[in-house]
Amino acid sequence: MAVSLNNLAVLYDSLGRYSQAKENYLQALEILKELLGDKHPYIASTLNNLAGHYKEQRRYLEAEKKQIEAFAMRTSLYGDEHPDVARSLNNVATIDFSLGRYLQAERKYSEALELRKRLLGEEHPDVAQSLNHLATVLTVRNRPAEALSYRVQASYINDKLISRVFAFSSDSDRFALIEKLRGNFDLFLSLIYNHLLDSDSAKQQALDFVLKRKALTSTSLAAQNQALYSDRYPHLQDKFRQLGELNAQLVTLTFSASRIRDFTAYQQQLAKLEEQHNNLQKQLASEVPEIQLAEQLPNRYAVAEALPSHSILIEFVRFDFFDFQAVRAKGDQQWHPPRYLAFILPSEQPDAVQTIDLGEVEPIDNLIQVFHSQVSDSTKKTLGVAKRLVFT
């Protein structure tokens, strides 16, 4: 009953029915305490959810109180070294950030990052989350170069996760993952736009990030997925099935860390599964072109070399613009209308990346729609109109 109330409260929160969400959280807490006493993992989880509810309502002091209570309970239950303790510490840091307490937020984010690395390994998605959070607070504290380094590290971890999920999952699972990671994509490009457009190195890393993420989420992995489940390679079906099982085990084990007690054994098991997966994938890649294609992710060096002589690539990127200096607790607007950036890469010059800020998306998209309607109207002479739309 209490678990159902908590889950229903989470649903109400997602639907914006906040008064009903709060009522269900409080009822769940009351029932859990009656059944389980004052200290139990379910109670800590419900406190954590209630803190998140208050945070979304901008009731930060109430959120902080509940989050600290959840953190203390988890520390008492598990000791200092546990993923749920790191999660609570990360959540307390997020409240500090929302209140503009950047020094405290940086310290707690750093502690959560180191704890997650020790327990889960260097390439766990929770480590990527901590790296991205720390990058955000470092940007606010005017350390954009450090922030970029953390975002690049996080993107490497998330790219591996995308590769795994896209290779064997359903379209709905892929979409859910991309939606979950979309904010980090926007924050990466907001960092470049806000602070690093004058840095050649930053622009180069940003283009590599965009090209790789685009390749991961486009047709190459879809082609691999189709090849694995088609009848084009009947003699490899057993190996495809084995690869899928290893992939599923890796994903499941990665996200089951909260139930683990021996984290040394956990990391060893992950490393063993990863080695088996990579070895089998390497064997299959020698026989399946689609797997080779999926493994050959582009960067600016490969693209610049592949471009015809004296040509350029223009890569248009849309991102939601984040204002790192905005303080949520003061009512400042953090997210602003989406913008377009254009990355320009000349052939044979991988280090000559340039960027152009094209401005907000809406007026550009409106012009594009007008242009499309004009050029697709067979009853009109549209070339002159199109020229005026493009060049005015």
Rounded average pLDDT over 58-87? 96
- pLDDT given for residue 392 in this prediction: 47
Give tens-digit pLDDT for 91-133.
999 999 999 999 999 999 999 999 999 999 999 999 999 999 9
Domain residue ranges of the chain, discontinuous segments joined by + = 1-121, 240-287
Specify which residues 316 forms β-bridges with: 342
What whole-number distance in Å separates Cα of residue 371 and Cα of residue 153?
40
| pLDDT tens per residue across span 171-186 | 778 788 888 999 999 9
pLDDT above 70 for 377: no
Residue 34 CB partners (closer than 8 Å, separation 6+): none
* More confidently predicted of 385 and 199: 199
CATH architecture of 1-121: Alpha Horseshoe (1.25)
Sheet holding 312-322, edge to edge: 312-322, 335-346, 354-360
Listed in sequence order, the DSSP H helices in 41-101 are 41-56, 60-78, 83-98
| CA–CA dist 224, 240 (Å, integer) | 11
- Judged on CB neighbours under 10 Å (0-12, 13-18, 19+), 346 is middle
* pLDDT tens-place string over residues 305-353: 999 999 999 999 999 999 999 999 999 999 999 999 999 999 999 999 9
Contact 295, 289 (CB under 8 A): no
Residue 61 vs residues 64, 147, 329: alpha-carbon distances, Å? 5, 28, 10
pLDDT at 200 over 50: yes
Q: How far is CA 147 from CA 74, 107, 119, 144, 192, in A?
A: 30, 15, 23, 5, 10
Element at 360 (helix H, strand E): strand 354-360
Which neighbouring-strand residues pair with 314? 344
Q: Check residue 151 and give its pLDDT.
A: 98
Query: According to the model, what pLDDT value does residue 173 have?
Result: 80
What pTM did the predictor assign? 0.86
The single-letter code of the amino acid at 113 is: L
Q: Where is 221: in which H helix or E strand? A: helix 219-229
Helix (H/G/I), strand (E/B), else coil: 145: helix
Question: What pLDDT score does 376 carry?
Answer: 72
Structure tokens at 375: 């050029």
For position 101, what pLDDT does the model report? 97
Cβ neighbours of residue 213 closer than 8 Å, sequence gap 6 or more: 155, 159, 162, 185
pLDDT score for 391: 45
Which residues touch 349 (CB under 8 Å, ≥6 apart)? 304
**Average pLDDT of the chain, as a whole number:** 89
The winner for highest mean pLDDT among 22-31, 252-261, 267-276 is 267-276
Side-chain-side CA neighbours of 273 within 13 Å: the count stands at 20
